[in-house]
Amino acid sequence: MTDGTNPLKVGQTLLKTDRPVGIVGYGAYVPRYRLPGAEVARVWTGGTGGSPIKEKAVAGLDEDVITMSIEAAQNALARAGIDPRLIRAVWVGSESHPYAVKPSSTIVAESIGAAPNIQAADWEFACKAGSEAMQAGLGFVGSGMGQYVLAIGMDTAQGRPGDALEYTAAAGGAAYILGPADESLALYQGSYSYVTDTPDFWRRAHEHYPSHGDRFTGEPAYFQHTLSASQRLMEMMGTTAQDYTWAVFHQPNVKFPQRAAKMLGFSDAQIEPGLLSGVVGNVYAGSCLLGLTATLDVAQPGDRILMVSYGSGAGSDAFDLVVTDRILERRDRAPHTQEYVARRTEVDYAIYTRYRGKLLTD
């Protein structure tokens, strides 16, 4: 273990705040509409080939990253029980911000009553934009620059019609209010970030849909970064998989996080509460953050949680958290994540095409 002054290797240091920080409140949001994977297969492969997930969440005509972020933020505020004017930064991580030039964060801050005396910014790093905002928020609060930070990971991710992404690219995410340890329902123990220039997934300016490197997105992209960040954090914390009650990984599909967990020594039971991609799809910037909300919904005081994000391009953030007694009094102040999962209205491919603006007429 290292405190950052005696690194295991050059540059390999534990990220630790100057003062204790934790999660004061959290909130999820998932749209009610669901597109079955079988429906995508019916349209593009005649029903052959199967689907990597059962179904995915689809944003409605009146939903986007901003509206969904507001919903999740209100849930986080309900659990935190704080005045939104005490928040000193609002950060929204996404790869599908509704405006190319105009921040999502200022609209969210205004809508929840946090403006104007705050810092606001939009974050981008593919699927780990949300955990990147969380990582920065921990530093912001941990350095004493502010009492509370709101960090959000939210997406209405796009997939080219007929592309493999169309089966999994979904909508939803989560919001976290980070604040003082003595108010937290989960305490931050330490974190570690690992990044390389791995071009597994990208979208150039003016293109409607992202491109990807097919199998290259698994090896060396997802697994190299997820495993490296996890292993190095646990090495520095002096822990193994058996020291954690729960683990949450980024979920581009069901098989990737299951395989990563197994390679790290985690059981299916340890990842089961947060494994949501099979029924809501990959919500990109909100993927592991959404999984963490579902895990916190069932966690007990003293439970230890490993959360590891992944973002194409590429990198992973790994976090070590310990749940406190405050989880019991705050958990039921807002809807549980599984309530959003269960609240579903199935749509066919035609409705999905209309809702997501895939039928272009110009």
Q: Which of 55, 63, 95, 183 is catalytic?
A: 95
Residue 333 tokens read as 């102040």
3-state SS assignment for residue 313: coil
- Pair 34, 23: CB distance under 8 Å: no
Strands 171-180 and 21-29, sheet pairing:
antiparallel
Q: Could you tell me the end-to-end alpha-carbon distance of the chain, in angstroms, rounded to an integer?
A: 58
User: For residue 313, which amino acid is it?
Assistant: G
SS3 129: helix
| Angle at 76 (CA atoms; ends 279, 181), nearest 5 degrees | 120
95 counts as catalytic: yes
Q: Distance between CA 168 and CA 281 in Å, rounded?
A: 5
Q: One of 97, 212, 225, 250 is an active-site residue; which one? A: 250
Centre a 10 Å sphere on the Cβ of residue 89 and count the other Cβ atoms it contains: 23
The one catalytic residue among 39, 55, 63, 127 = 127
Handedness of CA 321, 146, 67, 283 (dihedral sign): negative
Enzyme catalytic residues: 95, 127, 250
